[in-house]
Amino acid sequence: WFPVLGWGQLHAGIFLVAVIALSIWFVMEHSRVGFYADAVGFNAKAARATGLPVLSIALGLVLLSGALSGVAGMMIVAGTEHRLNQSVGNGYLFSAIVIAYLARAKPLWVVVISFALGAVFTAGNVLKVFYSISEAMIVLMQGAVLMSILMAQFFSSYSLKRPKN
């Protein structure tokens, strides 16, 4: 089992997360594999036109992401659950989609945003336990925080252009 660090559910698997995130960042930024993955991800037709094996690259990336999901599940079981049951990992899909969208395919930002989102969910649990706020209200507040972040990101990226007369 992974030893628990401090209080709560933070365990030594965080060091494995750091190593994996740094490794992925290095590969994506400083290797041919990362360049090919970016090329296929941004425009598969252009990558195919340049002679890249798009299907092989996409399949390799899907297999790698599946392997990393397995490592994440192993860390949940070895770190906090200490047993494998059918409910391990339930409810992480929505969080993973939000984190991936906010991180914009930057591995180091995935770690930072994951901690921030974990803080939002932990704050919701604290409000539920200590202030007897209903689960529906907690989910509503978490959704409002996430929508505020998404809207801020959207409006900081786009601006209206006035037509010239």
What pLDDT does 82 receive?
A: 77
What pLDDT does 36 receive?
A: 95
| Whole-number Å distance between alpha carbons of 73 and 55 | 27
One-letter amino acid of 145: V
| Whole-number Å distance between alpha carbons of 59 and 98 | 23
Predicted confidence band at 19 (pLDDT cuts at 50, 70, 90)? Answer: very high
**Is pLDDT at 3 greater than 80 in this prediction?**
no
Minimum mean pLDDT among 29-43, 62-76, 150-164: which range?
150-164
Residue spans per domain, the chain: 1-90, 91-159
Average pLDDT for 46-58 = 96
| Whole-number Å distance between alpha carbons of 81 and 32 | 38
One-letter amino acid of 82: H
pTM over 0.75: no
